[in-house]
Structure 1
Amino acid sequence: MQTIRTLSWGVRQSFRAYVEGAGGKTQTSEGAQTAADGGFVFAAGPDSTLALDEAGRLTGRGTFTGIVHFEAHGGMLKVWMVDPILEITDAGAVLTVADHPTRTYRLEAARLDLGAMATAPGELALPAALLMFGSQWLGGNYPAGTALDPVRLGVG
């Protein structure tokens, strides 16, 4: 059993470029960090049970900590990505986020393709697609099913 230590995700490169191009800003806090590729890195929370089993399958529930805040157009565009959780079930894998630092509500942002998981030393990469609530989270600019940046998991 190998423990998952980090989750890295850039949401969607074109979304990040749009925020920047609109004169906006992206801020990280509470442990989230900006990665060299422009994505964001979240450390596993103390209650995270996400792991890679001996057969190479992801199991458990990954809780990750940190906040990313996108803001543009003088505050008219505000998107929060707070404390991602990766849920592995019999139906597949879903990434949820809290949509505000109050952490009152969570939404299903993306479905991850476990069957297309790629492995490299110390890392797993899962293709991600936007879900309906994820589309609303990003302001309705991308329809459900839109390909997102892959979710990368650091294996420790």
Structure 2
Amino acid sequence: MAAQTVKTLTWGVKQSFRAYVEGAGGTIEAGAGAQRTADGGFTFDAAPDSSLTVDADGKLTGRGLFLGEVQFAAHGGMLKVALVDPILEITDAGALLTVADHVSRTYRLEAARLDLGVANTEPSGEVVLPAALMMFGCQWLGDHYPAGTPLDPVQLGLAG
């Protein structure tokens, strides 16, 4: 099997966070290319200059640039979280998911570390990676979860 390009990133952030926002009468809106999935997560399409691939051995390499915005809001605006243009970087130290935390795209933060050691390729062809919250991700989600908290897994859709 030849290397395959990653075309989509699907991530729900954390199911309990989504449930909290909606349970508090808040809103979750996806746009600018991001779409809500049937199970409540979000799918982002790869940017044209994205270089994330899966080689013949199932190893991820490169840098995945994904497009879209998700806005979480509740408590009359007291809770506001933005998930904008995720980037998945594969380095010698592992896999890191960063996000812009505002639609201005001025700053990026390290939201989650992904566990390449237990990546799983589903029968559908998607690569599924467990995710855990990083320190800046704690602040991003309003300091409600400590660093290391398991997040929803990241799913990577492959071309063809």
Aligned position for 1:146: 149
Q: Of 128, 131, 149, which aligns to 1:128?
A: 131
Q: Secondary structure at the match of 2:49?
A: coil
Q: How does 1:6-155 map onto structure 2 within 5 Å? A: 6-120=8-122, 121-155=124-158
Unaligned runs of 5+ in 2: none
- Taking structure 1 as the reference length, the TM-score comes to 0.99
CA distance in 2, matches of 1:54, 1:151: 20
Aligned-residue CA RMSD (Å):
0.5
Q: Summarize deviations over 1:77-124 as a string: whole Å, max 9, x none.
A: 000000000000000000000000000000000000001101113201
Deviation at 1:3, TM superposition (A): 0.4
CA distance in 2, matches of 1:75, 1:68: 15
Q: Secondary structure at the match of 2:56?
A: coil
Give the partner amino acid of 1:151. Answer: V
Unaligned runs of 5+ in 1: none
CA distance in 2, matches of 1:23, 1:98: 25
Deviation at 1:54, TM superposition (A): 1.6
Q: Which runs of 4+ in 1 moved over 6 A?
A: none
CA distance in 1, matches of 2:120, 2:59: 12
Give the partner amino acid of 2:103. Answer: P
Give the partner amino acid of 2:102. Answer: H
Deviation at 1:64, TM superposition (A): 0.1
CA distance in 1, matches of 2:146, 2:43: 25
CA distance in 1, matches of 2:89, 2:8: 14
